[in-house]
A and B are shown apart, each in its own frame.
Chain A
Amino acid sequence: MTFDNVIEGHSWDDITRQIAEKTPEEVREALSPGMMDSGGTDIDRFISLVSPAADEALEEIAQRAQLITEQRFGRIVGLYAPMYLSNSCTNSCLYCSFNASNQIDRETLSVEQAVSEARHLHDEGFRHILLVSGEDLKAVNLNYLKEVVSSLRPLFDSISIEIYPMETDQYRELAQSGVDGLIIYQETYNKDLYAQVHEAGKKTDYRWRIETPERGGAAGFRRIGLGSLLGLDDWRTEAVYLAMHARHLMRKYWRSQVTISFPRLRPAVGGYEPPCPVSDRDLVHMLTALRVFLPDAGILLSTRESKEFRDNMIPLGVTSMSAGSCTQVGGYTGNSATAGQFEIADHRTPEEVAETIKNIGYEPVWKDWDAAFIR
C-alpha cells in the first residue's frame, strides 16, 4: 500500500476540522509522559500537538523536543551544502524561480564544472553534498547524474540528491553509483491546491510525486527526506500529512532514516506571494511537534532562514544545517549570473556557522557517513 492509498481515507478538510476542534484537555493528554517516552504512534495525538489548542503549550512542547533530540542525537549538528547542477525545468510551479515560464538564463553544469564547484565546497570543509536540479531530462539525465556522482565520490563521504522524481530502477542505479540520500518535497499535500500551483509539466501528477519517496525506499537509499513548502497552505494540516507520511515510510522502509525539511517560501523570480505565510512561532511549533512525534527523524534547516532563527533552533530539534549556500547554478565558483532558486537569508560562511554552533555548545559535524558503506 502506498501513501497515496493511505490518505485516500482522509480528506484535507476533515483533518483541518479535527485540528480546529482539539481541546486543551486533549493537548494535555497528548503531552502525557507515556506518549513522550517513545514518540507516538497515534496520529490523533499529533493532531492535538499541532492544534491551536496547543499554542499555549508551545514552551512545554519545545522543552520535550530539546530533551528528546539531545537523548537521541546528542549535541551535534551535521553540516551539508546544496549544489545546483541545472536550473533548466519543464515544469511550471508558480512559487519557483526555475518555472519554465520565467525568463531567466538557463544553465547546466558540465561534469568538469560540477567537479570544480564541488571542490570549492570540499575546500570549505564539507563532506556531505546535496545535488539539486530542475526537471529537464534533456539537461539532466540518468547518465549525466551517474557521471557527476562518480566524479564527486572521491571528494565527498555522502552525496544526496534533490532532483526530479525517477523510477525505482533509476534510483537503484544512482544508489549503486554512490548516492545515499534522496530529498523530495511534496510541496503541498492538498490535492486541489497542488493542481493549482503546478500548472504544467510532469510535476502536475500528484500521485507520481507522492509515491516518489517509496520508490527511493525500494531502491535502498539510506535517507529519505520529506517536506512541505511552508506558505502554500495551512501549516498545521500540512504537518499532519507530513507526520503520517514519515510514519508510513518508517514502517514500510524501516532500513532508511526519514529526514524532514522545513522550507519556508522565500522571495523568488515570478513574485509569487505565499497565501498562508508561516511565522517564526508557527515554524517552531511545527518543528518541535514533529520532533516529539518522530524522535528519530533527521531535521534539516536551510539557509532560507535567518542566522538568528537558525541559531535559536539548534537546541530545539535540528540535526542538520546547510551553510554558506548558493542557489545559483555555478554560483560557488562565481562563474554564473543565473537567477538563484530563491533568496537565502543566512549569509554566513560555513566556518562562521560552525563557529557559532560550537559557541552555543554543540559540535559541528562535517562527516557522518563513509563511502565504504557503498561499494
Chain B
Amino acid sequence: MDKPLVIGGHTFTSRLLMGTGKFSSPEVMKEALQESGTEMVTVALRRVNIHDPGDSILSNVGRDRYVLLPNTSGARDAEEAVRLARLARAAGGGDFIKLEVTPDPNYLLPDPIETLKAAEILVKDGFTVLPYIHADPILAKRLEEVGTATVMPLGSPIGSNRGIRMRDAIEIIIEMANVPVVVDAGLGAPSHAAEAMEMGADAVLVNTAIAVAGDPAAMARAFKKGTEAGREAFIAGLGKPRKKAEASSPLTGFLR
C-alpha cells in the first residue's frame, strides 16, 4: 500500500507535477494538464499577470483544480527571489512557492548559496518552499534543516531531455531525505520519469518534454503512466541488479 504524497499540508494522488512554459497555446497547455492527471502546476511569475484573473495562463490552469505553484524563474539572487515570492503571495498566489535562483541564463543551473539564503527567509515568512537545486545531497539536507517542504534536484540540465544523469547523487538525496524528493528538470521521456520513480523519488516535475511534443496531450498521458508505473514498481520492490549471480535459495541457507 502506497503512502500518499503530502506537501505543505496538501495530499496529492498524482505524483506528476507539471510546468506551463513552452506550450504553443494556453489551450494546448490546458488539455495537456488535464491529461497528465497532475494536481500541482508551476507557473513562472515573469510570464503571468498575477493580478489579472483573466490572464491566459492563469485562467487556463484552473485554480480550483490544481494547487498553483508560482515559481521565481528569472531570479538571479536571493533578494530577487524573495521579492517575487512575496509579490506572488500578495497577489493571491497562495503560500506555495517553487524557489528557482538561476543566475546563468543559458543552462539555468541553480545557485546553491542564494537558494539556501532565500529558502531561509521564505520559510520564516510562512511560505511552503519547494526549492529547485542541483543534485547536491548536502545542500538538500541544509534546505531540509531550514524547513523547506521538498527538495527538487535536477535530473539533468533543464530542457535538455537527457534524463537522469545525476543518478548517484539523487540516490543519496532520496536515501537521506526526510522531505519529499521531486526530480525536476531534464526528464525527456516517460521512461525517465519511470526511472526516477523506480529509484524512490516521491514525484517528478515535467515541462519541456510534454510542451514541445508533437501531441502534448498524448505525451502528458504517457508521462502519467510512466510516473505511475515507476512508483508501482518501487512500492512492489524492485530486484536489485547484482554483479554476481545469487541463487534464489542460497546453498548455505541451511547453516542459519
B is bound to A: yes
Does chain A have a CB within 8 A of B250?
A: no
Q: Which residues of A contact B107 (CB under 8 A)?
A: 296
Indicate with 1 or 0, residue by residue over B184-227, a CB within 8 angstroms of chain A CB atoms.
Answer: 00000000000000000000000010011000000000000000
Q: Which of A25-33, A41-49, A131-139, A355-363 lies at the binding interface?
A: A355-363
Smallest Cβ-Cβ distance to A250: which chain B residue: B106
Does chain B have a CB within 8 A of A74?
A: yes
Q: Which of B30-38, B42-50, B173-181 lies at the binding interface?
A: B42-50
Indicate with 1 or 0, residue by residue over A363-375, a CB within 8 angstroms of chain B CB atoms.
Answer: 1010111101101
Does chain B have a CB within 8 A of A208?
A: no
Q: Return the contact of A74 from the options B21, B46, B105 (Cβ within 8 A).
A: B21
Would B24 and A368 count as touching, CB distance under 8 A? no
Would B47 and A75 count as touching, CB distance under 8 A? no
Which residues 286-306 of A sit at the B interface, judged by CB distance below 8 A? 296
* A–B complex contacts, Cβ < 8 Å, 8 sampled: A74-B22, A75-B212, A157-B46, A257-B105, A361-B24, A367-B47, A367-B48, A373-B84
Given contact pairs A74-B208, A362-B24, A372-B83, a sample of 14 additional A-B residue pairs in the complex whose CB atoms are under 8 Å apart: A71-B161, A71-B208, A72-B159, A74-B21, A75-B212, A76-B23, A254-B106, A255-B104, A255-B105, A256-B105, A358-B25, A363-B26, A367-B47, A373-B83
Indicate with 1 or 0, residue by residue over A228-241, a CB within 8 angstroms of chain B CB atoms.
Answer: 00000000000000
Distance, CA A370 to CA B48, complexed state (A): 9
Does chain A have a CB within 8 A of B140?
A: no
Q: Which residues of B contact A76 (CB under 8 A)?
A: 21-24
6 nearest CB pairs, A to B = A74-B22, A75-B24, A257-B105, A296-B106, A370-B46, A372-B87
Chain B contact residues: helix, strand, loop or mixed = loop
Which residues 59-93 of A sit at the B interface, judged by CB distance below 8 A? 70-76
Q: Give chain A nearest CB distance to B215 CB in angstroms.
A: 12
Q: Give chain B nearest CB distance to A299 CB in angstroms.
A: 14
Q: Give chain B nearest CB distance to A295 CB in angstroms.
A: 8
Tell me the count of chain A residues lying within 8 A, CB to CB, of chain B. Answer: 27
Distance, CA A365 to CA B84, complexed state (A): 20
Q: Return the contact of A373 from the options B24, B80, B161 (Cβ within 8 A).
A: B80
Q: Give chain A nearest CB distance to B21 CB in angstroms.
A: 6
Would A369 and B24 count as touching, CB distance under 8 A? no
Q: Which residues of A contact B47 (CB under 8 A)?
A: 365, 367-368
Would A255 and B208 count as touching, CB distance under 8 A? no
Does chain A have a CB within 8 A of B103?
A: yes
Smallest Cβ-Cβ distance to B74: which chain A residue: A373
Given contacts A73-B22, A363-B23, contact A369 B103 (CB under 8 A): no
Would A363 and B25 count as touching, CB distance under 8 A? yes
Distance, CA A222 to CA B87, complexed state (A): 20
Would A363 and B80 count as touching, CB distance under 8 A? no
